[in-house]
């Protein structure tokens, strides 16, 4: 088995979480429907309540309500499309929705649905390093803005947005802030980040919990239209019998989420990988040095994207986002001003709790060997080696910093 460096796509379930979840399976487990008014149902409901407390503990704010969803994609859809439909029903004057250009495809797709519900959707540009500048946001804000959606940690580049001043600007005009925090849990210090938000999307499988469970946390003053119709579970906001083992597993995964020491360990691994790649030369890092420790995104100059994917096909690394795997250049890197050819020749290395130094060295060695070989037959690399600038070769005017 080759080393796995695609933690941003999904993580393995921590064995401690698996053991915990096993308590909820089988005839002796807490298998009952938590909506049932009998002792077994009450026991299952208590397990769900315990997990909700873990979520509220993460958010460090008891003022949120928790809606269990299938993951962050559904949570993003409920937050954005659900709010848009509710605003439409109430004929609200707030009809503008702002999304960052580098958001996850779930947010961008939900924004398109919101557009169909009468919202005016606008995209906020980012700087070349992927950051949303406060003044860029401020210029776009007015009293018609209903919602701004921002990912605190970008899923492709690991870029960390400076949420506190952005949130202040949003709330100053009476708008609401949605955080797609799928990549943030365990990767940012628990320093009150979520208190700035009105809605937060979470996904358990991004932090060593089970797949198929997530949550939308929202302020009770917000009105959302449910996406699904059915029974009255979860106050009618998301009908359907609750998957108690998954919910309990998510709660346990939150309990043991990465701490400071683990983040420091991951930063060391990330730096080790970065040193390996930069030693290769001709590498453009897509992101910032102060980004999340679990993601390193690099483009390899002189190498064609499809060839790179083929040459690295035996490595478990990410190309763009696994959630948007149609093969074209990443919309995130395009938004950061990378030319298509360089965006296409990018690799997202994402590491996690079970990644070792040996994994990093092994993957880096194989990447270096394949990239060197592809460059050896590339006329583009020959020209770069002969002194042509990367901007000339790739036909861009924005300066590109190549290590």
Partner 1 sequence: MDMKLEPWNAESLGAPGAAQGWIHGAAGRVADGCRVDCWLSAGPGGIREARFEVFAGPEAMRAAAWLADWLAGRSVKAAEAVTGLWLAGQAGMPDEARGEGLCIEDALRSALTAVAAGEGGSEI
Long-range contacts of 323-326, Cβ-Cβ distance < 8 Å, separation of 24 or more: 323/9, 323/73, 323/104, 323/105, 323/106, 323/155, 324/105
Q: How far is CA 33 from CA 37, 45, 218, 241, in A?
A: 9, 8, 24, 7
Q: Shortest distance, CB of residue 342 to partner 1, whole angstroms?
A: 9
Return the structure tokens found at 338.
């990378």
SS3 364: helix
Query: DSSP characters for 281-330?
Result: SSEEE-S-TTS-TTEEEEEETT--HHHHHHHTTTSEEBSS-GGG-SSS--
Q: How far is CA 168 from CA 59, 73, 162, 192, 199, in A?
A: 18, 26, 11, 14, 15
Q: Shortest distance, CB of residue 376 to partner 1, whole angstroms?
A: 5
Name which of 50 and 391 has its Cβ closer to partner 1: 391
323 is catalytic: yes
Name which of 203 and 378 has its Cβ closer to partner 1: 378
173, 227, 307, 323: the catalytic one is 323
Question: Do 316 and 3 touch, CB atoms closer than 8 A?
Answer: yes
CA atoms lying within 13 Å on the CB side of residue 359? 21
Question: Do 215 and 48 touch, CB atoms closer than 8 A?
Answer: no
Q: Shortest distance, CB of residue 380 to partner 1, whole angstroms?
A: 5
State the residues that interact with partner 1 by CB under 8 A.
Answer: 302-307, 310-311, 339-341, 344, 370, 373-374, 376-382, 393-395
CA gap 394, 371 in Å, rounded: 18
Report which of 114, 102, 167, 170 is spatially closest to residue 330, judged by C-alpha positions: 102
Just list the catalytic residues.
323
């Amino acid at each position: 088995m080759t080393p796995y460096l695609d933690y941003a796509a999904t993580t393995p379930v921590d064995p401690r979480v698996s053991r915990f979840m096993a308590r909820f399976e089988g005839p002796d487990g807490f298998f009952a429907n938590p909506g049932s008014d009998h002792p077994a149902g009450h026991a299952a409901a208590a397990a769900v309540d315990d997990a909700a407390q873990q979520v509220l503990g993460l958010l460090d704010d008891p003022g949120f309500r928790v809606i269990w969803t299938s993951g962050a994609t559904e949570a993003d859809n409920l937050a954005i499309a659900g709010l848009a439909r509710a605003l439409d029903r109430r004929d609200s004057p707030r009809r503008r929705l702002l999304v960052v250009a580098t958001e996850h495809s779930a947010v961008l797709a939900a924004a398109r649905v919101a557009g169909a519900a009468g919202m005016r959707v606008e995209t906020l540009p980012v700087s070349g390093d992927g950051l949303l500048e406060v003044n860029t946001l401020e210029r776009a804000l007015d009293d018609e803005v209903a919602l701004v959606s921002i990912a605190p940690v970008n899923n492709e580049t690991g870029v960390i947005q400076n949420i506190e001043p952005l949130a202040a600007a949003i709330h100053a005009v009476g708008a609401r802030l949605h955080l797609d925090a799928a990549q943030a849990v365990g990767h940012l210090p628990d320093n009150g980040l979520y208190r700035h938000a009105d809605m937060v999307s979470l996904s358990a499988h991004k932090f060593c919990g089970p797949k198929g469970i997530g949550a939308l946390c929202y302020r009770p003053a917000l009105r959302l239209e449910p996406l699904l119709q059915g029974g009255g579970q979860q106050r009618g906001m998301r009908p359907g019998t609750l998957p108690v083992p998954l919910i309990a597993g998510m709660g346990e995964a939150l309990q043991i989420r990465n701490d400071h020491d683990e983040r420091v360990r991951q930063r060391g691994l990330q730096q080790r990988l970065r040193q390996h790649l930069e030693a290769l030369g001709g590498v453009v890092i897509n992101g910032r040095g102060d980004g999340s420790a679990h993601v390193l995104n690099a483009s390899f100059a002189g190498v064609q994207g499809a060839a790179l994917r083929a040459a690295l096909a035996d490595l478990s690394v990410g190309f763009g986002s696994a959630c948007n795997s149609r093969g074209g250049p990443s919309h995130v890197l395009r938004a950061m001003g990378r030319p298509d050819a360089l965006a296409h020749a990018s690799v997202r290395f994402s590491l996690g709790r079970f990644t070792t130094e040996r994994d990093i060295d092994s993957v880096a060695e194989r990447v270096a060997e394949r990239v060197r070989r592809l460059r050896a037959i590339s006329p583009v690399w020959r020209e770069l080696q002969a002194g042509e600038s990367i901007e000339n070769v790739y036909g861009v005017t924005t300066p590109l910093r190549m290590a």
